[in-house]
Structure 1
C-alpha cells in the first residue's frame, strides 16, 4: 500500500490525531479468508464499504471512493461469518455514493435467501422498473460489497448463471455450496420451464423456492411464465413472489 498525502500530512502534526478524526477521513482495510479465497475488505465509520479480490485494491478503492486507506489490526466484528453465510446479523454496510436505483437493486438482492436464485427480471420488477433488466445487471456488476449483498444469487433465466464480479466459476462455486442445483435449473430452462406449480397447493414458484422443492413429481407442473400459470388456475407464491413477466 502506498502512503496517501493526506495521511502523510496528519502524521506531521505535533500531536497524534484522534482515532475518531482518522475514521471520518480514512478507511481501514484488512485481508480476510472467504469461500472463494482471500479478499481485501475496506470499511469506514459507517460500515463495510468495499470487498475486493486480487491485485489493484488500493487504486480501485481510491478511484471509487476517494478516501485514503489505513491498515486495520483485525476484521470488524461479524465480518467473517457474514462473508461465509451472507447473513449480516447487525454488520453495517456503507453504501453512500450509490444512486437511489443502485440502492434499490442491492436491497432487493438482499432479500434472496441462501440456496435460492432469482432472475435479473425479478429484481427489476420488484423495484418497480420491470423494463430495466440491463440496468439491474449493470448495478449488480458494480456491487461494492459482493458476498455481503449476495449478487451471486441473481442469474439469467436461460439457465446460465450470468456474469459476476469475481468470475463465473466463483459464482457457480458459491451457488453449489449453498445447495443450488444448477444442472436441474439448466435442464428446466432447456425445456422452457421457469416456474414450478403444485396442484396440491395451487401455488406457482421459482424452481429454487423452498416451497417448490417440496413439490412431489406427481403434483409438479412447469410453466414458461407466471401469466401462463395464472391462466391454468395457479396463484403466485407469497414467499418467492415470482414476477408477472416472461423470462428473457
Structure 2
C-alpha cells in the first residue's frame, strides 16, 4: 500500500499525535468474512464508511473519500453480524458526503425486510420522487456500504435481479440465501403478475411479502397493476406498502 503523505507528516512530528486527532483525520480498515466472500471495510470515528470486494480497495477509498487509511487490529463491534443479516443493531454508518437524495434512497432500501424484494419504482415512490426511477438505480449503484444497507433487495420489475455493485451472481446468491424464491418471482413476472391479493383478507401485496407467501392457492389472485387490484376491491398491504405500479 502506498504511504499516505499526511501520515508521513504526522509520523515526523516530535511527539506522537493524539489518537483522537488520528481518528478524525484517518480511517481504519480491516478484512472480514461475509456471505459473498472476504470484504475490505473502512470505518471512521462516525461509523462504517465503505465496504469493498476485490482488489484496489485502498485506491478506491482514497479517490472517493480523500482520507488516509490505517490498519485496524479488529473489526468494530457488531460489524460481522450486521454483514451476515443486514440488521445494523448498534452499528453506526458514516454516510457523510452523500446527497440528501442518495441518503433518502438508502434509507428506503433499509426498510426492505430480509427475504423480500421491492422494485426500483417502490423506492422512488417511498421517497416522494415517483419519476426518479433511473436516479434511484444510480444512487443504489453507488451505495458505499452494501450488505449493511441491503440494496441487493431492490430488483427489476421484470423478475430479473438487475445490477449490483458486487455483480448480479452475488446478488442472486444473497437473495436466495435470504429465502427469496427468485424462480417464482420470475414466473409471475413472465405472466405479467406483479401483485398478489387474498380474497380472505382483501389485501394486495408484493409477491415476496411475508403476507403474500401465506395466501393459499384457492384464495390467491394475481394482478398486473395496483390500479387493477384496487378496482377489484383490494387495499394495499400495510406491511409491504405497495404504492407505485411497476411498468406494465
Give the Cα–Cα distance (whole angstroms) in 2 for the partners of residues 66 and 80 of structure 1. 26
For 1:170, the equivalent position in structure 2 comes to 170
SS class of match (2:106): helix
Q: Identify the residue that residue 183 of structure 1 maps to in structure 2.
A: 183
Kindly provide the CA deviation profile for residues 55-112 of structure 1, in whole angstroms up to 9, marking residues without a partner as x: 0111110110000000000000000000000000010000000000000000000000
Q: Answer whether contact 2:102 2:139 (CA < 8 A) is retained.
A: yes
Separation in structure 1 between the aligned mates of residue 172 and residue 31 of structure 2, nearest angstrom: 23
Query: Partner of 1:48 in structure 2?
Result: 48
Shift, 1:18, TM fit: 1.1
Show the counterpart of 2:130.
Answer: 130
- TM-score by length of structure 2 reads 0.99
How well do the aligned residues superpose, as a CA RMSD in angstroms?
0.6
Secondary structure of the equivalent of 1:50? strand
Deviation of the 1:210 alpha carbon? 0.5
SS at match of 1:187: helix
C-alpha distance after superposition, 1:177-227 (max 9, x if no partner):
000000000000000000000000000000000100000000000001111
Aligned equivalents of 1:4, 1:244: Cα separation in 2: 48
Q: How far did residue 48 of structure 1 move?
A: 0.2
- Residues 107-126 of structure 1 correspond to what in structure 2 (within 5 A)? 107-126=107-126
1:10 corresponds to: 10
3-state SS in 2 of match to 1:197: strand
What residue is the counterpart of 1:243 in the other structure?
243
The answer on whether the counterparts of 1:83 and 1:147 sit within 8 Å (CA) in structure 2 is: yes
Does the CA contact (< 8 Å) of 2:130 and 2:244 recur in 1?
Answer: no
- Displacement of 1:244: 3.1
- The 5 Å alignment of 1:204-243 reads 204-243=204-243
Q: Is the 8 A contact 1:196 1:222 kept in 2?
A: yes
SS of the aligned residue for 2:70 comes to strand
Distance 1:95 1:171 in 2: 22
The alignment covers a number of residue pairs equal to: 248
Determine if contact 2:157/2:246 at 8 Å carries over to the other structure. Answer: no
Q: Distance in 1 between matches of 2:119 and 2:179?
A: 17
Partner residue of 2:90?
90
8 Å CA contact 1:34, 1:80 repeated in 2 = yes
